[in-house]
Structure 1
Amino acid sequence: MELSRIRELIGFYENELTNNILFFWLPRCVDRVNGGYFNCFDNEGRQLISRDKYTWSQGRFVWIFSKLATMDCGTFTKAQRENFLNLAKGGRDFLEKYSLMGEDDWRCVFLMDETGKPKYVDGYNRLDMSIYADCFVIAAFAKYADAADNKDSYEFSKKLYESAVSRVRTGEFTTLPYPLSPKYRAHGIPMIFSNVTREVYSAAEKFDNEYCLELRKNLENFTEDILTNFVDENNVLHEIITSDNQFFDNLLGQHANPGHTIEDMWFMIDAADILGKPHYIP
């Protein structure tokens, strides 16, 4: 690729990030009273249609603002990056106070009101509806820990990560409001756990180097699971397989998600770099 084209693409993405994405969300998303973020707007951004706070989206915003705070590439000034870190801290503190099911109960609620009080989703009778919510909080705290040099945030992410991994290994988790029969396995689980393992690994390199070996093993296991069991002979990544790792020939079994495939390519590249396994990137 020619240098002129690279510069053109940098300009395009900087404009999209600053003048479209961040312009849409800031400052309207920030809850200055309770902490955390409002993100249930209509598609035009004109109306806040709910003041509720979904744990997964709160975690995603903490991760994004923490990531922006570390972007020392000329896109943002030092003052802007410091502001991003402050924005991340607001969400981080909100999640620390309210996202867990209880003291020393390392499971995350799925939905909270604007003050942090847990809420049931209509039609469901459990607060810890989805382990995906836990994963977004794990990634958020790990990224904030790295960006802010905050060991307490790393310890929070580690405890929640170990709880979530344990639940996946024993099958004691749910993915509501998208339930899946125990007869099947979803690609989304090893995919997101490969990503959060990588996030925790990056923070552990700074705060807990001895833990990195276990994280590398986990990362390899999640990645190998995807490549071995979810990718068929035609290199199609299936979203659903049977519980005994077989493909099956119906609408559900043939479902492929291009967005998930592209996202997982990003995670595979990260795993290849960390593990020194270039064959993950054919």
Structure 2
Amino acid sequence: MKSYLISIAQKYRKELRDNILPFWIDNGIDKVNGGIYTALDRGGVLMDSDKSVWFQGRAAWVFSYCYNTLDRNPQYLAAAKSCVDFIEKHCFDADGRMFYQVTAAGVPVRKRRYAFSETFAAIAFAEYSIASGEQSYAEKALELFDKILYYIGTPGLLEPKFREGFSAKGHSICMILIDTAHCIQRAVKSEKLQAQINRSVEEIRRDFMHPEFKAVLETVAPDGSFIDSMAGRTINPGHSLETGWFILEEAKYSNWNAELIETGKTIIDWSWDWGWDKQYGGILYFRDCKNRPQQEYWQDMKFWWPQNEAALAMLYAALATGDVAYIEKFKMVDEYMFSRLKDAEFPEWYGYLHYDGSVAQPAKGNMYKGPFHIPRMLIRGAELCEELAEIFE
């Protein structure tokens, strides 16, 4: 087991250094306007020059984190700076909120109702502050976090997802604030960050975890009660697995708090049971908590990111519990990713597979797929495997 875990750590670091990061640095970084393009085809050729604002922050975080923990490669720092500078120059609207999509030169194209552009910019600023040594970016991260809390916590400032006929709240912003706060804490300490982590964990336990279905529901009533509708019955196993490892990560940095371990482990166990396709392998995209038909046409597809989140969830669960069964599940996910998602002929990985694991479309990026889930899984996975190698012989 020890040699296996060390070999996985080495494989993941090599994949990151030799394949994933060079692909995005060589093909994605905009050398004219700054920032990063993500709409790249199988070979890395640009398909669309509009830029995802999410990915300016996500990419800046990845390149900064890899600079801080993988290699002090000046290319990583330069790529992070390009994205951070582009964010500051072009991605904020006059009201302090951020756009969702801009042109290559930074002209606004679209702005959306949620605050995910802001959460990703905040973690980018925090990690870049460590990489660059410029503490001012840690303060910018904290200021942006305050704005996020203000906008999502003040009724009427953000357009609601649903109109008067449907009253509900979603799992997404609750869970993402755990990781956002945790990432900012690497650069700057603040009681408000820990307070938000605690609030989010409690809200997930109270409102989104539903033992009657052994599932984390994506949409619930404002009081956390079950809504018997297509939206209310939806489970996103990859999303829930991500929540599970966020909570176990917090448990780790809380001296392995037993209550946090139990919460994270329970979410991961439930989500694996709902998500893993026993016939074809891989994590399914959506399930219905009453096993009724799902509305979304991609419900049985195997996207890249749920596989990435499953891998990290299993490693964190193994670290938190010492249970070798989680390593066995990790092996299943790892084998699936490298046999199905990794492109054997061109750099980077596929993002979209059919239910049977065949490639649905071969592009390597778009507005939603870019340098984030895969590189985060590789670097964090390598770190976790090295920690686990000290436990499992």
Do these two structures clear the TM 0.5 threshold for a shared fold by scoring above it? Answer: yes
Identical-residue share of aligned pairs (%) = 27
Residue 102 (structure 2) aligned to one of 109, 112, 132: 112
CA–CA separation in structure 2 for the residues paired with 1:87 and 1:180:
38
Match of 1:50 among 34, 42, 48: 48
Q: Which residue number corresponds to residue 120 of structure 2? A: 136
Per the alignment, do residues 149 and 30 of structure 1 end up closer, same or farther by CA in structure 2, a change over 3 Å counting? Answer: same
Match of 1:162 in 2: 146
Q: What is the distance in 2 between the residues matched to 1:30 and 1:228?
A: 43
Specify the alignment match of 2:258 in structure 1.
Answer: 278
Residues 1:260 and 2:223 are matched in the alignment: no
Q: Deviations over 1:232-252 (max 9, x none)?
A: 115411111012211122321
Q: Distance in 2 between matches of 1:185 and 1:225?
A: 11
Structure 2 counterpart of 1:215: 193
| Structure 1 residue matching 2:148: 3-state secondary structure | helix
Q: Does the 8 Å CA contact 2:207/2:223 hold for their aligned counterparts?
A: no
Q: Distance in 1 between matches of 2:159 and 2:187?
A: 27
What SS does the corresponding residue of 1:70 show, helix, strand or coil?
A: helix
Runs of 4+ in structure 1 deviating by more than 4 angstroms, as ranges, are none
1:15 paired with 2:5, answer: no
Asked if residue 228 in structure 1 is aligned to residue 206 in structure 2, the reply is yes
Q: Could you tell me which amino acid in structure 2 is paired with residue 135 of structure 1?
A: T
Secondary structure at the counterpart of residue 78 of structure 2: helix
Q: TM-score, normalized by length of structure 2?
A: 0.62
Q: Considering only aligned residues, what root-mean-square deviation do their CA atoms show, in Å?
A: 1.9
Contact 1:65–1:85 (Cα < 8 Å) also in 2:
yes
Cα 1:213–1:129 shift into 2, 3 Å: closer
Q: Distance in 2 between matches of 1:132 and 1:46?
A: 26
- Structure 1: runs of 5+ lacking an equivalent: 121-126, 206-211
Q: Specify the alignment match of 2:130 in structure 1.
A: 146
Asked if residue 94 in structure 1 is aligned to residue 94 in structure 2, the reply is no
**Which residue in the other structure is 1:85 paired with?**
77
Paired with 2:29 and 2:54, the residues of 1 have a C-alpha distance of 16
> Is the 2:206–2:224 contact (alpha carbons within 8 Å) kept by the matching residues of 1?
no
CA deviation string 1:23-58 (max 9, x = no partner):
43231111111110111112x134311111111011
Q: Secondary structure at the match of 1:4?
A: helix
Higher relative contact order (CA 8 A, sep 6+): 2
Give, in angstroms, the shift of residue 144 of structure 1: 1.0
- The aligned length equals 257
Whole-angstrom distance in 2 between the partners of 1:146 and 1:174: 34
Q: Is the 8 A contact 2:27 2:45 kept in 1?
A: no
Provide, for residues 65-95 of structure 1, a one-character-per-residue CA deviation record: whole Å limited to 9, x for no partner. Answer: 01100115xxx3x3x2x32112101110110
> What is the aligned partner in structure 1 of residue 169 from structure 2?
185
Q: Which amino acid aligns with 2:259?
A: H
Tell me the residue number matched to 1:173. Answer: 158
Structure 2 gaps of 5+ residues are 263-393
Q: Distance in 1 between matches of 2:85 and 2:159?
A: 26
- Residues 171 and 208 of structure 2 are in contact (CA less than 8 Å); yes or no, is this contact kept in structure 1? yes
2:124 partner amino acid: A
Distance in structure 2 (CA, Å) of the matches to 1:7 and 1:57: 31
Whole-Å Cα distance in 2 between the matches of residues 148 and 270 of structure 1? 25
Q: Aligned residue for 2:382?
A: none
Q: How has the CA–CA distance of structure 1 residues 109 and 15 changed in structure 2, closer, same or farther, with 3 Å as cutoff?
A: same
* Structure 2 counterpart SS, 1:119: strand
Partner residue, 1:123 = none
